[in-house]
A and B are shown apart, each in its own frame.
Chain A
Amino acid sequence: MKLLVKFNLVMCLVFLAGFIGAGFISNRLLQRNARQEIFENARIMMEAALAVRAYTGKEIKPLLDTQMKYSFLPQSVPAYSANQYFAQLRTKFPDYSYREATLNPTNPVNRANDWEADVIQYFRQNPQDTERIGQRETAAGPALYIARPMKVGSSCLACHDTAEDAPRTLVDRYGPNNGFGWKVNDIVTAQIVSAPMRLPLQKAQSTFAVFMVSLAVIFGIVFLAVNAMLILLVTRPIDRLAGVANELSLGNLNAPEIRVDGSDEISHLQESFNRMRKSLVEAIKLLET
């Protein structure tokens, strides 16, 4: 078996092992990073929603107080503003969804479903926890979620204490039975941002594919370069040496000297060979005389 073949076999085996190992480690790392990126995005979205709520409560609601006496304006409700903000955000980030799931909401649309109610109950039982990350099964496949509790503040009671004290236009629209009886510092709502599991997987897979293809391309280039260098620097000089040695062994003392290029190990071998050839030729000539 030729030296080049042996060398290439070993190189391929080593690369394959490295390729598989790098692929395994990088895949795990990329998936983890993709999940982290999604959670970071979700956290930023949640903080932005809270900022929109604060702006609405502090600056918009007072301007609409008089108008609220005549017609209910959802624009004065912080939760509505947060949902509208996120609806706009979804036009650019359609994979994310946002909910302010509430146990006892004014608007039934915001009522917590089973798993959301479980999340809210978790926060009520573990008030020291400020965040919960999880995964759940959905009809469209597994989904990631990040949830944060929302405590009732004193400003909430303007609309959520009793129906008698709430704005009349709000009660006219939603009735006297929903969204009342809240107490300050109670946890009745959770901010929840969800994203499908396929999102981090897709992100990780596309990066992984690019990485592995790059690795393979680099190996291919290295493979070709190493083979070319092997041929030029090792096997061809050795073939020339072998050729001259063969000539000498067949009695052709006029076989030309090997041209020595460079000063590497092959060059030293060539020099040594040339000296040996010279000594051999002289010795044979001496014997013949």
Chain B
Amino acid sequence: MRAVLSAAVVCLFLATCASAQAIGTVTLAEGDLHIIRGTTVSTAVQGTRLRRGDILESSSRGLTQVECGPESVIAIGPSSKVFLFSGSTSGSTRAELVLLSGWLKAETHARAGTYQFDTPWLAASASRGTVVLRAASESSDIFVESGSASVAEVGASGITGQFRSAKGGEFFSRRAGKGLASSNGPADNFVQSMPNAFKDTLPPRLSLAGRKDVEPGRGREIEYEQLRPYLVMPARWRRDFVSRFESRLDDPKFRQGIVAHLHDHPEWEPALHPEGNSTNKQ
């Protein structure tokens, strides 16, 4: 009976993913979970299918769980920002997620495919292991809780260096301007800051998410201040953002923000001043 149920869940997932290019499904959403899809900010709930390009922002008390298939569970900690950079239902790498800030824990299994998790300073690739990541603007930490994974440094442009294998129990950290440091076991401050829920095995909840894709609630257009952290992240990750958010330039406040901080994201200049137009488009 259990095998039939699992097979049914897998089939349901594959069908849903294939039809909507879904990377995963939100199976737990505690507190407010904001999703930036397209140029809209709305609230994601349990059952929301996630797509390539979605950005998730959890609240300060929120715990989010995303599952892509019955054998991969990804938990996002409170006050975290995650960008679903890429995803595929085929190929060796199932998805690449960027943890811009906050906490992420992923339990992956060989049948679920390989996942890559990027932070501003380190990246982890896992197909049969559990990894815990912490990201901040000036530092990144990765702990291979169990199984095995690969870890690499991330350059300023977002390109990952050479991956090195890591086994369960290894801890990696990198600070701005410094190289990769590794140790046997997580650092004390890492353990103390970690969300308590991350210290336990993540419970699979895909069967509770329901069959239907639950659309995010009604949203609003994103404002510059909220989008800014993503506009200044490494170039490789934000390469599609101009075309994606260009329509927001019609909002004077958004345009004002872009103009005021153009030095942080110079790729926006052509959009601000399209060929043949006036330089002071207001």
| A interface residues with partner B (beta carbon < 8 Å) | 63, 66-67, 69-71, 168-169, 172
Cα of A69 to Cα of B146 in the assembled complex, Å: 9
Cα of A172 to Cα of B187 in the assembled complex, Å: 12
Cα of A66 to Cα of B146 in the assembled complex, Å: 9
Contact partners of A71 in chain B: CB under 8 A: 191, 199
Cα of A66 to Cα of B168 in the assembled complex, Å: 12
Cα of A284 to Cα of B169 in the assembled complex, Å: 130
Determine if A168 and B184 form an interchain contact, defined as CB atoms under 8 angstroms apart.
yes
Cα of A70 to Cα of B185 in the assembled complex, Å: 8
Determine if A70 and B199 form an interchain contact, defined as CB atoms under 8 angstroms apart.
yes
Determine if A67 and B169 form an interchain contact, defined as CB atoms under 8 angstroms apart.
no
Determine if B199 and A66 form an interchain contact, defined as CB atoms under 8 angstroms apart.
yes
Determine if A67 and B185 form an interchain contact, defined as CB atoms under 8 angstroms apart.
no
- In-complex Cβ contact of B185 among A63, A66, A172 (8 A): A172
Interface of B (DSSP majority class): loop
The 10 closest A-B pairs by CB, nearest first: A67-B199, A70-B191, A168-B185, A66-B201, A70-B199, A66-B200, A69-B145, A168-B169, A71-B191, A67-B200
Answer whether residue B194 sits at the interface, using C-beta atoms and an 8 A cutoff.
yes
Report the minimum CB–CB distance from A189 to chain B (whole Å): 28
Cα of A66 to Cα of B105 in the assembled complex, Å: 13
Report the minimum CB–CB distance from B183 to chain A (whole Å): 10
| B interface residues with partner A (beta carbon < 8 Å) | 145-146, 169, 184-186, 191, 194, 199-201
Report the minimum CB–CB distance from A29 to chain B (whole Å): 57
Report the minimum CB–CB distance from B14 to chain A (whole Å): 29
Report the minimum CB–CB distance from A166 to chain B (whole Å): 12
Cα of A71 to Cα of B201 in the assembled complex, Å: 15
Contact partners of B185 in chain A: CB under 8 A: 168-169, 172
Chain B residue at minimal CB-CB distance from A68 = B199
Report the minimum CB–CB distance from B104 to chain A (whole Å): 16
Most chain A CB within a 10 A radius of its CB, from B194, B199, B201: B199
Report the minimum CB–CB distance from A138 to chain B (whole Å): 43
Q: Given A168-B184, A168-B185, A69–B169 Cβ distance below 8 Å?
A: yes
Cα of A66 to Cα of B198 in the assembled complex, Å: 9
Contact partners of B194 in chain A: CB under 8 A: 70
Determine if B145 and A66 form an interchain contact, defined as CB atoms under 8 angstroms apart.
yes
Chain B residue at minimal CB-CB distance from A169 = B185
16 chain-A/chain-B pairs, Cβ below 8 angstroms: A63-B200, A66-B146, A66-B199, A66-B200, A66-B201, A67-B199, A67-B200, A69-B145, A69-B146, A70-B186, A70-B194, A71-B191, A71-B199, A168-B185, A169-B185, A172-B185
